[in-house]
Structure 1
Amino acid sequence: MLHRIHRSLDVFVLALAVPMTLVMLGCVVWQVVGRYFLGSSTSFTDELSRFLFIWVSLLGAAYVLGKRGHIAITGLIDMAPRGVRRGFDILIAGLVIVFALVVLVWGGWLLVERNLRLGQVSPAMLLPVAYVYAII
């Protein structure tokens, strides 16, 4: 059951990240073509590609963390006995959960709430910045 939920979340994250990456690529290509070949550029493509980069980066980080493919220095842990390795795995998982809850969820909520209250919008697209921060 838990494996099914995890797999569904992976599919969902990839279904979001892949089109976002393609749109980001299109924005960057359009920006380059417009600036260097047409002599003018659009202001929203730079901003949109920046926002998409933030979203894709965080979605990709969540996906890789779920696959246990994140960067890790395992030399000391690999030399430890099996029981100690298991303890390290539990400790690391606990630290990741605490970090995610405190910094990402709670801090992200405060950031989104403050930006909604202040009404901050992006300069080119006039998009509420809180929507960009909502990915956190």
Structure 2
Amino acid sequence: MNKLITAMNKVLSLFCISLSSVLVLSVSWQVFSRYVLNSPSTFTDEVSRFLFIWVGLMGAAYTMGQKRHLAIDLLPMKLEKSPLKLNNLNIIINLFSVSFAFIIMIYGGGNLMLKTLATGQVSPALGIEMGLVYAAIPLSGLFMVVYIIRDLLELVSQRQNLAS
């Protein structure tokens, strides 16, 4: 499992860096062509929008894997004095998270992607299938599920140590 997580971390970080770099170039070209050349580029708006979607969703998955997501930790802070209760709370939170990622992102996002691919909807400027843009949703959800399962396995292992 550790090898899979290490590989996912490396791939996701490089992928997000690459997408972000292309996004910056695309936006820079758009600004340059609009204000300097007085001839705005026709495709950079769409490229930037689609890259932003992918960077956001893949970045969210990567951030979840690094355990750096934004969280309101009021209840966990109250339970710090009781490690077993804190562990139980974290297990419950992760069960909700894996349910959300699986049902909404993988199942719902996968259905959206497949339906969009089936209708043949294409983007106006680039002419790419919109289902490929929407593929970021189930793919990000899949990465999240793997990270959450890793976290759940760690928490269950910790719980056994705390209970004994």
TM exceeding 0.5 = yes
Give the letter aligned to residue 101 of structure 2: A
Between 1:23-32 and 1:69-78, the stretch displaced more is 69-78
Q: What do the CA deviations read for 1:33-72 (whole angstroms, capped 9, x no partner)?
A: 0000100111111100110000011111001101110011
CA–CA separation in structure 2 for the residues paired with 1:19 and 1:77: 36
CA–CA separation in structure 1 for the residues paired with 2:103 and 2:42: 35
CA–CA separation in structure 2 for the residues paired with 1:116 and 1:107: 14
SS in 1 for 2:136: coil
Provide the residue aligned with 1:49 in structure 2.
48
CA–CA separation in structure 1 for the residues paired with 2:75 and 2:97: 19
Give the letter aligned to residue 132 of structure 1: V
CA–CA separation in structure 1 for the residues paired with 2:32 and 2:54: 24
Provide the residue aligned with 1:31 in structure 2.
30
Q: Which structure would you say has the larger RCO, counting Cα contacts within 8 Å and 6 or more residues apart?
A: 2
Summarize the alignment of residues 1-136 of structure 1 with structure 2, pairs less than 5 Å apart.
2-80=1-79, 81-136=82-137
SS in 2 for 1:85: helix
CA–CA separation in structure 1 for the residues paired with 2:116 and 2:75: 43
Q: Percent identity?
A: 36
Quote the RMSD (CA, aligned, Å): 0.8
Give the letter aligned to residue 82 of structure 1: P
Which 4+ runs in 1 deviate beyond 4 A?
none
SS in 2 for 1:43: coil
TM-score after normalising by structure 2: 0.80
Q: Which consecutive residues of structure 1, in runs of 5 or more, have no partner in the other structure?
A: none
Give the Å deviation of 1:135: 1.0
CA–CA separation in structure 2 for the residues paired with 1:128 and 1:77: 44
Q: What do the CA deviations read for 1:54-111 (whole angstroms, capped 9, x no partner)?
A: 0011111001101110011112211211111001110011111000110000001110
Q: Which consecutive residues of structure 2, in runs of 5 or more, have no partner in the other structure?
A: 138-164
Q: What do the CA deviations read for 1:6-57 (whole angstroms, capped 9, x no partner)?
A: 1110101112111111111000000000000100111111100110000011
Give the Å deviation of 1:112: 0.9
